[in-house]
Amino acid sequence: MTLFDIAKKNVRGNLRSYLIYFVSMIFSVIVYYTFVSLQYSEEIQGSLQSSEVMRSVFMGASIVLILFVSVFILYSNSFFTKKRKKEVGLYSLLGIRKKTIGRMLFYENLIMGTAGLAAGVALGTLLSKLFTMIFLKLLDSAIEVSFGIAWEAIVNTTLVFAVIILFTSFRAYRLIYRFKLIELFQADKEGEQAPKASLAAAVIAVILLSGSYWLAFQPMVTSQQMGRNFLLFIGGMIVGTYLLFRFAIGRLLRASQANKSRYYKGMKIVDTSQLLFRITGNTRTLTMIALLSAVTLSAAGVGYSMYYSNQQNADEAAPFSYSFISTGGSLDQQAERIITEDAKHPVMAQMDIPVIVIKGDVSALSYVPSGFPADELPLKLISARAYNKASGALNRKENVGLSGNQAAAIRSRYSGDLTLSDYKGHSISLITPQEKRTVTFVSLLEENVLRWSYPDVSIVVSDSVFNEIARHISPVIYKVYKVEDQQTTKEVTNQLTKMAAEDVQMSSYYTVYREGLENAGLNIFILGFLGLVFLAATGSIIYFKQLTEAHADKARYDILRKIGVSRKEVRASVAKQTFFVFALPLAVGIGHSSMILKALTSINLIVGSVAVPIITSMAVYVVIYLAYYMLTVHSVNKIVNN
Amino acid sequence: MIQPVVEAKQVNKVYGGKGNVYTALDQIDLTVQEGEFVGIMGPSGSGKSTLLNMLATIDQPTSGDIVIAGTSILKMNEEQLSIFRRDRLGFIFQDFNLLDTLTVRENILLPLALAKMNIHELERRVDEIADKFGIRQILDKYPTHISGGQKQRTAASRAIVSKPSLILADEPTGALDSKSATDLLESLRDLNEQDKSTILMVTHDAFAASYCKRVLFIKDGRMFTELVKGHANRKEFFNKVLDVLSVLGGGISDVI
């Protein structure tokens, strides 16, 4: 029997105990392969017009995945190794040469890795079709997905994993050299002692976490502020979380032991002391899971809210279906003919909006778009009559009545935190060649009627002021159209874009909507995909960790059963302890992600109505997490309660 | 009148089936009266541990009946058995079976906590027992930080803290040096003589058996013979036990 045979037999004979490592190996391969094969799939490349952007986004995401997958495999590999230290020690004790043991472990790892790779690619091929279909569905694209094997993806995946497998195999080979024989036999006893719960560290944890939570509520306007605050915010969160699990939780458990009459009641004494014993060894796992959950929840929240609010964004950025600046010539008529002849999208409303483009001194206002001087800011003036008419054409209720030097501000996009009091009573001067005309704000309008362009400062003035200024600066005419079913005007939009010159600012709702959808679809897909990966990983990490601990706990539960604890009580105890281990990082993760999302909202990375998508993604997360919890309780119970 | 604490009638235990039957216990009858200190001896594989496990309610006989403290344990369900073990039985095992996540104090009071006893009574009992076994100064240590003898005294404290009807000891001196073993056995004897505790001890060791008032010998799943100490002193009884063991054979002599 050669060494290779022994290694092969080892894997086959112990497949059950190897399963944990094997499954995480397959999982990693599936995830990576699926993602890479999407990257190479023709359907996806073709269906996105901006495939250059997509490729780079995919590239970035696959780098994140490689990092993640390597860490995950190394993690489960060291888990696996820890479980087998005793076995390796025994081989050595029985007199097998170190070199022989090392080679045996090397082969074993190689076999498992290769098998995992093959299985992962096979399963991944099936799954990648499913994911491609989901992706295209998100993009509103009705393209058929063919079932194919992406050779580039297989080569790519094989290369990446060959490196990882060789690395772990080499580590396995080195195992017997890295440890003394006695250390191999004591592997089980590592990291199992009641923690020293330093009060100071617990207090620091609370201070760091509340400090970074507080930062999330601070305004971040300049990019300098943003950089500094985010650095402090994330740093405080990571360190705070670690200290929280390392010291504060132990402290709390210790405190709960102080009430003897409650502590010495039923299984509580066992539950609490076991958790306390495990908390030191679990600190890193719990921290990692809390932070991964936070990242996953934030990512899913951002992705989904972008997708969810795409229509709202498009409505804001392009209130009318089509809009362009009149040139007074044949172009106007040609465009009008194209728009009105489109039978599938009948015109519901059309009008001309006269707009005066002027510079103004807005030093008195609190919001000035960055990159522009406050005393010479480009403004767009609209008359109250035109605004009301446009508002009517868009079926909106918002109206304005102005007289004399009264003016109304239209809310700029991404300035959601400004209120009427930031404008009311403040004056600005409009600079005409002849004079400086001062107008005073009386109200703030929520919705613009012009398409969005930066700097987005539109002001409604009374008809008399508008006409007066119009004598010095002639208004440009925005020709706007509202059509039915404006999300599907691809052909007309293409024709108009081809025909229009640069200076007419031809814009259509479709373009904005479609661009948003592509970005949001890509985002939700990538973020959702990464989110699922992280979720599966966090779930698996706790699951495997709990299972490993269950094997160590089995003896304890046997003792308890002998001194009169019923199976039912053991089950309840398992459920309670597992709940603690699951719920704690989840609660911290949800707390963290709420703060991250809050911070992202204050820098306008998330806009629009976010409550629904964020709550939805959290709910989905919690449900999947719950399934992991129940699976874990079931498996652990099966181990300790038999 | 003295009540029998344990009554095992015609107990059989058969393992396996279909052509590969192994009889671990064959028609065993056993009665232990209240206040007795009974030893069970026999070579490895004689079935003494099987018998103890059945009395401990963690294993069931194939046929026969076992009555402990007036209750037939074969008619109880899992839940009732757990409560029965908790309230009526105390265990001392060869490998101590202490929970390493609990301090010595917590290990001792565990059965009382499980029974949800009032905190004052609970603490009073722990103190009383800790004094009896001389482990008061190690109450707040963890089992990994105390010696084997201290561990076994802790286990013995846990076994008697709930004032069980029957204390079952499975090779309690097996992992102890002779000094610790003697200390433990003397504690058990005191417990039996002063507190009238009923103790059933399975052992390999003639020295340990000599502390009992009565020793039963099992061979190949059957009751072999019985020795009663009567008015003999421990030394004399020890020699008697050795005599029986030499007749019994079966690899037990090498232990002595």
Residues 6+ apart with CB under 8 A from A259: none
Provide the pLDDT confidence category of residue A16 given band limits of 50, 70 and 90.
Answer: low
Q: Which is more confident, A268 or A94?
A: A268
Which residues of chain B make contact with A565, given a CB cutoff of 8 A?
82, 86, 114
Which residues of chain A make contact with B109, given a CB cutoff of 8 A?
264, 269
Cα–Cα dist A503/B231, whole Å: 122
**Owner of token pair 């868009």:** A394
Provide the pLDDT confidence category of residue A7 given band limits of 50, 70 and 90.
Answer: low
Provide the pLDDT confidence category of residue A552 given band limits of 50, 70 and 90.
Answer: confident
Q: B89 vs A261: CB contact, 8 Å cut-off?
A: no
Give me the DSSP letters along A174-236: HHHHHS-HHHHHTGGGTT-S-----HHHHHHHHHHHHHHHHHHTS---SHHHHHHHHHHHHHH
Please report the pLDDT score of residue A604 as a whole number: 67
Q: B85 vs A560: CB contact, 8 Å cut-off?
A: no
* pLDDT exceeds cutoff 70 at B94: yes
Cα–Cα dist B69/B71, whole Å: 6
Provide the pLDDT confidence category of residue B211 given band limits of 50, 70 and 90.
Answer: very high
Provide the pLDDT confidence category of residue A57 given band limits of 50, 70 and 90.
Answer: low
Cα–Cα dist A441/A444, whole Å: 8
Provide the pLDDT confidence category of residue A144 given band limits of 50, 70 and 90.
Answer: low
Q: B119 vs A260: CB contact, 8 Å cut-off?
A: yes
A474, two tokens: 């002639």
Instruction: Tell me how far the alpha carbon of residue A417 is from its chain's centroid.
Output: 24
Which residues of chain A make contact with B82, given a CB cutoff of 8 A?
561, 564-567, 569
Over residues A61-72, the mean pLDDT reads: 80
Please report the pLDDT score of residue B73 as a whole number: 86
Residues 6+ apart with CB under 8 A from A228: none
Provide the pLDDT confidence category of residue A55 given band limits of 50, 70 and 90.
Answer: low
Q: Please tell me whether residue A608 adopts helix, strand or coil conformation.
A: coil
Q: Mean pLDDT lowest for which of A392-406, A496-510, A598-612, B208-222?
A: A598-612
A554, two tokens: 């089995």
Q: Which of A192, A264, A276 sits opposite B119 (nearest CB)?
A: A264
Q: Mean pLDDT lowest for which of A403-407, B13-17, B48-52, B98-102?
A: B13-17
Please report the pLDDT score of residue A25 as a whole number: 85
Domain residue spans of chain A: 1-190, 347-483
C-alpha closest to that of B247 among B208, B219, B209, B213:
B219
Closest approach of chain B CAs to the CA of A558, in angstroms? 9
Report the helix count and the strand count for chain A, using DSSP H and E: 20, 9
Q: Determine the residue of chain A that is closest to B92 in CA distance.
A: A563
> B160 with B167: CB under 8 angstroms?
yes
Cα–Cα dist A310/A521, whole Å: 10
Tell me the torsion sign for CA atoms A361, A363, A366, A371. positive
Please report the pLDDT score of residue A46 as a whole number: 63
Cα–Cα dist A298/A621, whole Å: 11
Edge-first strand order for the sheet with B63-68 is: B22-33, B4-15, B63-68, B71-72
Provide the pLDDT confidence category of residue A188 given band limits of 50, 70 and 90.
Answer: low
* pLDDT exceeds cutoff 80 at B53: yes
Q: Determine the residue of chain B that is closest to A263 in CA distance.
A: B113
Q: A273 vs B102: CB contact, 8 Å cut-off?
A: yes
User: In the predicted model, what is the mean pLDDT of chain A?
Assistant: 82
Asked if omega into A455 is within 30° of 0 (cis), the reply is: yes
* pLDDT exceeds cutoff 70 at A367: yes
Q: Determine the residue of chain A that is closest to B115 in CA distance.
A: A266
Please report the pLDDT score of residue A190 as a whole number: 47
Q: Which is more confident, A533 or B170?
A: B170
* pLDDT exceeds cutoff 80 at A518: no
A157, two tokens: 């995946």
Q: Please tell me whether residue B168 adopts helix, strand or coil conformation.
A: strand
Closest approach of chain A CAs to the CA of B29, in angstroms? 24
User: In the predicted model, what is the mean pLDDT of chain B?
Assistant: 86
Over residues A188-208, the mean pLDDT reads: 72
Over residues A341-356, the mean pLDDT reads: 88
Closest approach of chain A CAs to the CA of B250, in angstroms? 30
Over residues A514-532, the mean pLDDT reads: 77
Q: Determine the residue of chain B that is closest to A194 in CA distance.
A: B101
Which residues of chain B make contact with A568, given a CB cutoff of 8 A?
79
Q: Which of A193, A269, A567 sits opposite B113 (nearest CB)?
A: A269
Q: Which is more confident, A43 or B96?
A: B96
Tell me the torsion sign for CA atoms B242, B248, B253, B256. negative
Cα–Cα dist A356/A433, whole Å: 13
Over residues A594-622, the mean pLDDT reads: 81
- If DSSP states are collapsed to H, E and C, what string results for A336-366? HHHHHHCCCCCEEEEEEEEEEEEEEECCCCC
Cα–Cα dist A220/A218, whole Å: 6
State the burial class of residue B45 (Cβ atoms within 10 Å of its Cβ: 0-12, 13-18, 19+). middle
A284, two tokens: 């890193």
* pLDDT exceeds cutoff 60 at A441: yes
Please report the pLDDT score of residue A498 as a whole number: 82
Cα–Cα dist B106/A21, whole Å: 37
Tens digits of residue pLDDT in B147-171: 888 988 899 899 888 888 889 998 8
Over residues A85-96, the mean pLDDT reads: 78
C-alpha closest to that of B90 among B64, B50, B52:
B52
Q: Please tell me whether residue B91 adopts helix, strand or coil conformation.
A: strand
Q: B114 vs A266: CB contact, 8 Å cut-off?
A: yes
Q: Which of A194, A264, A564 sits opposite B82 (nearest CB)?
A: A564
Q: B78 vs A567: CB contact, 8 Å cut-off?
A: yes
Chain B within 8 Å of A276 (Cβ-Cβ)?
A: yes
Q: B79 vs A266: CB contact, 8 Å cut-off?
A: no
Tens digits of residue pLDDT in A303-329: 788 788 888 888 888 888 888 888 877
* pLDDT exceeds cutoff 70 at A416: no
* pLDDT exceeds cutoff 60 at B255: no
Please report the pLDDT score of residue A195 as a whole number: 56
* pLDDT exceeds cutoff 70 at A539: yes
The domain made up of B4-255 has a fold known as: Rossmann fold (3.40.50)
Over residues A170-198, the mean pLDDT reads: 69
Rounded to 5°, angle at Cα A359 from A358 and A360: 120
Tens digits of residue pLDDT in A370-386: 778 888 888 889 999 99
Give me the DSSP letters along A275-292: HHHHHHHHHHHHHHHHHH
Tens digits of residue pLDDT in A455-513: 778 889 999 989 988 888 889 888 899 988 888 888 888 888 888 776 777 888 888 88
> What percent of chain A lies above the pLDDT cut of 70?
89
Closest approach of chain A CAs to the CA of B63, in angstroms? 22
Q: A194 vs B142: CB contact, 8 Å cut-off?
A: yes
Distances A594 to A175, A217, A293, A299 between C-alpha atoms, Å = 43, 11, 11, 11
Complex ipTM, two decimals? Answer: 0.84
* pLDDT exceeds cutoff 50 at A293: yes
The two beta strands, A406-410 and A377-383, are unpaired
B153, two tokens: 């005294």
Provide the pLDDT confidence category of residue A241 given band limits of 50, 70 and 90.
Answer: very high
Q: B82 vs A266: CB contact, 8 Å cut-off?
A: no
Provide the pLDDT confidence category of residue A636 given band limits of 50, 70 and 90.
Answer: very high
Q: Encode A37-57: b = buried (16+ Cβ within 10 Å), e = exposed.
A: bbbbbebbeebbeeeeebeeb
